[in-house]
Structure 1
Amino acid sequence: MAGMNTDLLTLVRQALLFERLHTIPELSRTLSTSFPTIKKHLDILIEHGEVDEQDSDVSSGGRPAKRYRYRADHTHGLALYLELDAIGYRIFDAVGTLLTNGTVSVPRQQPHVPALVRLIHRLLAQDPRITFLSIGVAASVEDGKVFFAPDYPSLQQVDLKQTLESEFRLPVVIENDMNAAVVGFHEADQNRQQSLIYLYLGKNGPGSGILINGQLVRGSSHFAGEISVVPQYDKMTFGQAIAKRRATLDAQTIDAISRLTATFAATLNPRLLIFNGEELTEHDLEQIRFKTTEYIPEAHIPLLIRSNWETDYLNGLTRIGLQLLTEQPLSANRRSSS
């Protein structure tokens, strides 16, 4: 469309969706763009059914200011995550509201990609309004290609993004599970722009997601957070040290987590270290904090807290999926129901 700035269109969508900005003055000020230019791009989004224009309920006596909101019913997204023996999913609307969710079992001997493709086909048939996919995997990912998946040999070196985009002709984003979880926690947290780390012991092997000053850390080779390989003892990595843990954490597991906590504190100095609430108790956290003081001064130990990992994971995949939605060309935001 003549005069349209596609980068600005993405920024306007993101400001409406994520920053909850609703007026042209707010958008103009935040995006450092003129009123007429903002208005033109809002008109484009209205024309394509993405945005609604409404009169403000509050008036200073003059003409009511127009307010704009991203339409929840514009489209639907689908988030899925792969576990060793299951695939979980969530369908959500264009502002991230949950519509439906579920879990499908996958036999451990069965490759995950065919099972994933079958499930997506079934869900698309049930909801033809889905126009984008967000996929979480317990593996290292770069540009949609899985390159380190010790617990998922059938995914190793699979370009999952290309595979799914070729199959479904929809935009797809692939993300590491812990990156998604830390993003999901951060989105729900009131203290933005902070540094935090999400630590998962997990049936898939341990992993972590890292946010520094509100920015997701992937590392130069997208290997950041692969804590299973961190050396801790003469002959054991962190992954090996906790491999035989039980429901009640033993002394070796407590020590291994405490050493890793000290490592994080000395290198990244996060404000929060978040654990899966189903894996550790508050008593476990007390033991970890006490043991960590043997390695570093207590003043530098991050706050240790528990959270709902599955909720954070799915919230993160939803947020990442909506980010993908905002980056799409206008013509890519709808899918025929035929």
Structure 2
Amino acid sequence: MLPIVNNTMRVKQVNVELVKTALKALKFGTKSTIANATGLSVATCGNILNELLERGEVIETDLEQSSGGRPARRFMYNANYSYIACIYVSNEGGIYRTVYAVANLTGEIIAKNSSEVELINYEAIDNLLEDLTGKYENIKAVGIGIPGIVHKGLIGAGDIEELVNIPLAARLKAKYNLHITVENDVNLTAYGFYQKQHYEEDKTVAVVMFPEGNCSGAGIIVDGRIIRGNTNFAGEVSYLPLDYSREEQIKQTKNPDVFFLLMVKTIASIIAVINPAIIVVTGGLIRLDMMAGITNSCEVIIPQEHMPQIIIKENMQEDYINGLISITLESMACDVQLIEKRL
């Protein structure tokens, strides 16, 4: 009997998410318009709307104007029903920085701040989150971006040694009893960039980052989904066999000719493996005037018809925050994915 009960509950969760998603997109909706948008029955939509209305996640507005007959009740999603806290930490050339954004349930940022700090460790992140949850009591989920690998709940090799081998998500969840998501920084940047493009069809996109004083990394999006790999190691391009160890690659950033060759080999490797439509090149070592050189050098290795559009962006902080907000909001939805069958 238990599996049937579980399945019923999961279907209900999916239906609630469908209604909420539709109402966010419609801005205002009646039971009928939401039923049309979701494919659910009017009765099911009505029951879900009543539940959401009772707990304050949906607001009832003025009645819909009627051309005859009884006017329909109209509803809107209460974006400020609760908030999410998004935090990312970085080490760029030995400068440690924490950035946070507090957003509502439609992703609108209501508070944001960036600070240079002397040290980033568990306590620094915990103290920042404690301040945010104290100031915004209805925070329900937290997303954290880190420059490193997250595998089996532990932070692996990365740019901030004090976070290595720390079970960050588990410790914060135990203390705050909130949804906690910890994700790689370049994955989040790639996802945020992809989300902002609003592609009509799914695409394959990569963001490759060449930071100052640290190893390169890539975020890979295939058909709209982050590719993390078996152990979340996907995108760790500094481990490619480029004839230089990771430590030596960092040293070679001081040698423009060698660094440029390493950069081109890295980008060409990504093109050959995933055949992206777009590659965005970014990081503290990247300048806008590198565009022609990168493109021409890659075309020596990759046939022209398989070359992606190459974009250089010197600052992708907004993409990073956008990806972090998107992932954190998704973490609050039920874990059942509705996948459209492609013929």
- The TM-score range, normalised by the shorter chain, is 0.7 to 0.9
CA-to-partner distance for each residue in 1:121-180, whole Å, 9 max, x for gaps?
12222222322211111111146x234223223222222111111122222111111111
- SS at the partner of 2:301? coil
- Match of 1:52, SS state, is strand
What residue number does 1:324 align with?
Answer: 331
State the partner residue of 1:276. 282
- Rate the CA distance shift 1:129–1:186 in 2: closer, same or farther, 3 A: same
Q: How big is the shift at 1:8? A: 2.1
The match for 1:292 among 289, 293, 298 is 298
Determine if contact 1:254/1:291 at 8 Å carries over to the other structure: no
Cα gap change, 1:147 to 1:61, in 2 (>3 Å): same
CA contact (8 A) 1:200 1:206 kept: yes
List aligned pairs for 1:136-151, cutoff 5 A: 136-142=145-151, 145-151=153-159
Give the Å deviation of 1:20: 6.8
Q: Is the 8 A contact 2:210 2:286 kept in 1?
A: no
Do structure 1's residue 302 and structure 2's residue 313 form an aligned pair?
no
Equivalent position of 1:76 in the other structure: 83
**In the alignment, structure 1 residue 188 sits paired with structure 2 residue 199:** no
What is residue 335 of structure 1 aligned with on the other side? Answer: none
Residue 261 of structure 1 contacts residue 301 of structure 1 at CA under 8 Å; is this kept in 2?
no
For 1:40 and 1:14, how far apart are their aligned partners in 2?
16
SS at structure 2 position matched to 1:225 = coil
| Aligned CA distance change for structure 1 residues 14 and 223 (closer, same or farther; 3 Å) | farther
Q: How far 1:27 moved relative to its partner?
A: 4.3
User: Which residue type is aligned with residue 126 of structure 1?
Assistant: K
- Is the alpha carbon distance of 1:60 and 1:132 closer, same or farther for their aligned partners in structure 2, counting shifts above 3 Å? same
Matches within 5 A, 1:76-155: 76-84=83-91, 85-107=96-118, 110-142=119-151, 145-155=153-163
Correspondence for 1:207 among 217, 230, 236: 217
Contact 2:57/2:78 (<8 A) preserved: yes
**1:46 equivalenced with 2:46 (yes/no):** no
TM-score in terms of structure 2 length? 0.83
Give the secondary-structure state (helix, strand or coil) at the position aligned to 1:92: strand
CA RMSD after TM alignment: 2.9
Residues of 2 paired with 1:258 and 1:62: CA distance? 67
Change (3 A) 1:262 1:120: same
TM-score normalized with structure 1 length = 0.84
Q: Tell me the SS of whatever aligns to 1:12.
A: helix
CA contact (8 A) 2:64 2:74 kept: no
Consecutive unaligned residues of structure 2, counting only runs of 5 or more, are 1-7, 336-343
Whether contact under 8 Å (1:230, 1:238) holds in the other structure is no
Give the superposition deviation at 1:24. 4.3
Give the conservation status (yes or no) of the 8 Å contact 1:22–1:68: yes
Alignment correspondent of 2:235: 225
Contact 1:87 1:104 (8 Å CA) reproduced: yes
Alignment partners' CA distance in 2, 1:14 and 1:52:
15
2:14 aligned with 1:7, yes or no?
Answer: yes
Q: 1:262 aligns with which of 265, 268, 284?
A: 268
1:60: Cα distance to partner?
6.5
Q: Distance in 1 between matches of 2:238 and 2:180?
A: 28
Provide the C-alpha distance between the structure 2 equivalents of 1:156 and 1:273, rounded to a whole number of angstroms.
29
8 Å contact kept, 2:32–2:42:
yes
Structure 1: gaps (5+ residues): 329-338
Alignment size in residue pairs = 321
Q: Is residue 211–residue 217 contact of structure 1 (8 Å, CA) maintained in 2?
A: yes
Partner of 2:253: 245
Q: Residue 169 of structure 1 aligns to which amino acid in structure 2? A: N
> What is the aligned partner in structure 2 of residue 333 from structure 1?
none
Question: In proportion to residue count, which structure has more helix?
Answer: 2
Alpha-carbon distance, 1:189 to partner: 0.6
Is the partner of 1:293 in helix, strand or coil? helix
In 2: Cα distance, 1:27 partner to 1:327 partner:
19
Q: Which residue of 1 is the match for residue 177 of structure 2?
A: 169
Distance in 1 of aligned mates of 2:266 and 2:126: 37
User: How far apart in 2 are the matches of 1:15 and 1:142?
Assistant: 34
